[in-house]
Amino acid sequence: MDVLSRWTAGLNYDRFLDKYATPEQRRRWDAFHSKVGLTPSQQATLRDFRREMLVIVVAGAWCGDCIQQVPIFDHFSKQAPCLQFRYFDREDHGDLADELSICGGRRVPSVLFLSEDGAPCGRAGDRTLSKYRDMVATLDGASCPTGIVAPVHALLSDVTQDWLNEFERVQLMLRLSPRLRQKHGD
């Protein structure tokens, strides 16, 4: 699938929520968004990003994992304007969700990182390592977060750092790409 051709069908963060979230879901997204904070070091890392990076996010407004992770991306975008996000609803864009499936399913959020000219640079999603470690440590059977109860502050900080590490890894890949260095003369 040529995922770059889908770029224009994606929505920015607020339009995605305006279109897909119920008022109660939007309240949860907004409440979680207000809990996200970036440290001065994280802000500095994001401000140092130079290469334009296209980020496709497949999500669901109903999804607790999305509620507890995707607002982090909005904070990243405010610090690093070179990060260009497009959000896609998992159900309305099922073929894209299938293309970005994780562990054989339409897990969300699913993230695809692209260079400025659409070359795939990485994939991530579902949950971060810190979240999985927390889930295993507290495992009492099958569970699925609802987004009703926000994670404790330490976990939110760890998940935020996990995501920043993914974004920084791709940014450094783009900064060091011989093809892009030649294109940009650096």
Tally the domains of the chain: 1
Residue 100 lies in a domain: yes
Written as one letter, the residue type at 25 is Q
Q: Report d(CA 89, CA 101) in Å as an integer.
A: 13
Question: What is the DSSP secondary structure assignment for residue 109, as one 8-state letter?
Answer: S
* CATH code (residue 32): 3.40.30.10
Residue 186 lies in a domain: no
Q: How confident is the model over 85-132, as pLDDT tens digits?
A: 999 999 999 999 999 999 999 999 999 999 999 999 999 999 999 999
Is residue 145 classed as helix, strand or coil in its secondary structure?
coil
Which whole number is the average pLDDT over 159-178? 98
Show the domain range for 112: 3-181
Q: How confident is the model over 45-94, as pLDDT tens digits?
A: 999 999 999 999 999 999 999 999 999 999 999 999 999 999 999 999 99
